[in-house]
Structure formats: C-alpha cells, structure tokens
C-alpha cells in the first residue's frame, strides 16, 4: 500500500431522492362518464445505500466523489398506477468501514460482511393518490398528497484495517523496518518521526507454506487518544487486528514504562483492545553486545513477571537475529486458545 493509493477516510455529501407526488385523477372511460377517484401513489425516492465488498481494500474510489445523489421517485398515474421508485445509489466500501454522521460524529453502523447493506440516507416517501381520500361524504376528492422531500446530509466513511497482527509502537520503534524484512511490503523507512503516514499491510511467510497478515500502524505518541500527534486517526485500525505486537527499541530509557504508555493509550481509546492477545517485541537488538543482550533479557524477565504477564522477544530486523523466533511466538499466540 503506497501513500498514493491508500485512502482510509472520506467525507461525502449524500442526497436521497424525493418521493413522487400522488395523482389526482377521476376515472373516465367510454363506459364510465363520472367515475370515482383512481389516482395512484407516488414512488419512493431513491435511498443512498452503503454495501460491503470484500474485493475492495481502500476508499480510494470515493476520494474525489464528493456528492452521491439518488434518483427522485415518479408521480402516481391514473387507474391506481403507482409511480416508479427512484433508483437507489449504492456506495461500495471495503469490509471494516465505519459510517458516521459528519455533524455529530455519531457512529451509524460498521460494515463487516460481504454484500452487507445499510441505508445511510433514506429516500422520501411517495405521496398518496386521491383514491385514499375518498369518503362517503367526499366521493371525488380533488387533492393528493405530495411526496416527501429527499435529505441531503454529509457523512464520513472511515476504514479499519483487518490484519492478524497489528504493530503498535512509538515513531521510529522499527515497525516499518520489521514489516519490510518479514514480508514483501515496502513501506517508507527513514530516521525521523512519523515516516509512516498511512497504514501498510504485508503478508508474512511462515513455516510449511503458511502465512499471516501484519499491519504497520503509524506511530503512537503519549496523548494520542486525545488527538495529539496523528491522534486517533490510526488507532481505529488496531481494533480489527487479531493480536497486537508492541514494539519498543532496545535503546529506550525504560522499556517497561514505554510499553505501559502504549498500553494506556489503547485503554483510553478503547478498553476492549486490552482483551486482545499481546506480545512485546524489543527491536534494534543489533545495538546490544552479547553481555548487554543477556542483561536486558534477565532484567525484563524480572520486571515483566512483577507487573505484566506478557511474553517478549528481543530481536534485530537489521541483522535478522531472533526474527524467526519472533514469528514463531506470534504464530503460537495467534493459534492459542483465547
């Protein structure tokens, strides 16, 4: 996924169709000179519908489509003939797309299955024809009901990535480097914060021709749940990952504290994220000699045993040290009982 073709956020104006008006008509035939009312009902205005499509993985096709307009319903006709309903306008989106109201930020629904449909803006109802207003004392009503107007509303569509493993860490923790080493993905890598501005997906090859999907989520900073840094824009991608790999570099001043800060950001954003399986990866082990490596391992075993029951792997993407061990641990956790 390159920066040019991955789009996970769009804001669009949705206008549903107005309903057709009911017909005012009195039956007139060669056999009936003064018949009763036979005006038909107006057709429903077209809905704006969001439909899931498992062949899509980005909202790129909606990036430049700022207006979605459904068709108006047709007016009713004579002989109790109803007008045709307006054609619905269907917006196809990837699975994991969340629809929100642009004004209130209220979540309307989330698309999780192929061909799942939700009406995001309903069309106006068609008006009733004059046949519905006949009474014993008013046998030839010369009025009908107008159709309801359509609605024009701004909506937001946000995509949550689906992956087996989501990488969580501060900027420059080595997430993109790891993804580039274990998969064919080619994320941008540089020695400055926020190199990754869009999520990246990679398929990680494993033993016996097996594989799993890993997502590189742009870096989190302390206060991200309050909108700092890149804010909550990318925290939502973590929600659809089966498990989380927390990355903290070996040159961190306090690895356990950094892990706790990341954990707190996820908890503040959505406490349910803490229910996911977790693994702590200590990256950039090439910065350590054998003595420091062993000392760090012993220290982490002691600290994590006291505070957190989480497995960890110290590895280096640059040298390849323990990368296979990291994949083994990820695979074991993914396939272990919840």
- Give the start-end residues of each E strand in the chain: 9-15, 48-52, 67-69, 89-93, 97-101, 107-111, 117-121, 152-159, 163-169, 200-205, 211-216, 241-249, 277-283, 312-314
- Let me know whether 330 and 256 are in one domain: yes
Q: How far apart are CA 42 and CA 77, in angstroms?
A: 8
- Let me know whether 330 and 182 are in one domain: yes
Split at pLDDT 50, 70, 90, the class of 213 is confident
Q: Tell if the pTM clears 0.95, that is, is over it.
A: no
- Let me know whether 179 and 311 are in one domain: yes
Which of 135, 159, 183 corresponds to the end of one domain? 159
Q: How far apart are CA 160 and CA 37, in angstroms?
A: 54
CB 100 within 8 A of CB 14: no
Which of 159, 185, 220 corresponds to the end of one domain? 159
- Let me know whether 295 and 196 are in one domain: yes
Percentage of residues in the chain with pLDDT exceeding 70? 89
Min mean pLDDT across 31-45, 167-181, 323-337 is at 167-181
For residue 225, the enclosing domain spans 163-334
Min mean pLDDT across 9-18, 38-47, 215-224 is at 215-224
Q: How many other β-carbons are positioned within 10 Å of the β-carbon of residue 193? A: 12
φ and ψ of 301, to 5 deg:
-60, -40
Q: From residue 45, how far is each of 38, 149, 262 by CA, in Å?
A: 22, 8, 48
Position 219 scores a pLDDT of 63
Q: What average pLDDT does range 221-226 have in this prediction?
A: 50
184, pLDDT greater than 80: no
The domain that holds 99 is classified in CATH as 2.70.210.12
1, pLDDT greater than 60: no
Query: What's the Rg (C-alpha) of the chain?
Result: 29
332, pLDDT greater than 50: yes
**Chain position carrying tokens 């890598």:** 189
Residue-wise pLDDT for 266-319, tens only, equals 888 888 888 899 999 999 999 999 999 999 999 999 988 777 889 999 999 999
Q: Coil, helix or strand for 269?
A: helix
- Let me know whether 60 and 84 are in one domain: yes
What domain count does the chain have? 2
Q: What average pLDDT does range 238-265 have in this prediction?
A: 89
Average pLDDT, the chain: 86
- Let me know whether 1 and 121 are in one domain: yes
Min mean pLDDT across 87-91, 98-102, 323-327, 333-337 is at 333-337
Q: What average pLDDT does range 103-119 have in this prediction?
A: 94
Q: Coil, helix or strand for 209?
A: helix
Q: Look up residue 161 and give its two tokens.
A: 């990535």
CA-angle at 250, arms to 244 and 251, nearest 5°: 130
- Let me know whether 85 and 109 are in one domain: yes
């Amino acid at each position: 996924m390159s920066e040019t073709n991955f789009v996970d956020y769009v804001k669009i104006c949705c206008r549903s169709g107005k309903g057709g008006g009911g017909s005012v008509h009195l039956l007139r035939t060669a056999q009936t000179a003064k018949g009763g009312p036979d005006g038909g009902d107006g057709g429903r205005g077209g809905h704006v519908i969001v439909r899931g499509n498992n062949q899509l993985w980005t909202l790129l096709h909606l990036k430049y489509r700022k207006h979605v307009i459904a068709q108006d319903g047709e007016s009713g006709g004579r002989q109790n003939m109803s007008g045709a309903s307006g054609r619905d306008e269907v917006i196809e989106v990837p699975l994991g797309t969340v629809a929100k109201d642009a004004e209130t930020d209220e979540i309307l629904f989330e698309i999780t299955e192929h061909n799942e449909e939700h009406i995001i803006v309903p069309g106006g109802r068609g008006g009733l024809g004059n046949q519905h207003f006949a009474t014993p004392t008013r046998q030839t009503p010369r009025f009908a009901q107008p159709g309801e107007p359509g609605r024009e509303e701004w909506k937001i569509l946000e995509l949550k990535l689906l992956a087996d493993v989501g990488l969580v860490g501060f900027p420059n923790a080595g997430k993109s480097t790891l993804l580039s080493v274990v998969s064919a993905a080619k994320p941008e890598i540089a020695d400055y914060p926020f190199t990754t501005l869009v999520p990246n997906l990679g398929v990680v090859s494993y033993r016996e021709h097996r594989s799993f999907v890993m997502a590189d989520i742009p870096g989190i900073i302390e206060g991200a749940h309050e909108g700092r840094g890149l804010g909550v824009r990318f925290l939502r991608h973590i929600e659809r990952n089966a498990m989380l790999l927390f990355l903290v570099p070996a040159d961190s001043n306090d690895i356990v504290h950094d892990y706790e800060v990341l954990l707190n950001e996820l908890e503040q954003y959505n406490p349910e994220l803490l229910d996911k399986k977790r693994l702590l990866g200590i990256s950039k082990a090439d910065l350590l000699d054998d003595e420091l490596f062993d000392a760090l391992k012993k220290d982490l075993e002691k600290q994590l045993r006291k505070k957190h029951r989480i497995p960890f792997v110290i590895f280096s993407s640059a040298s390849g040290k323990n990368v296979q061990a990291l994949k083994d641990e990820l695979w074991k956790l993914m396939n272990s009982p919840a």
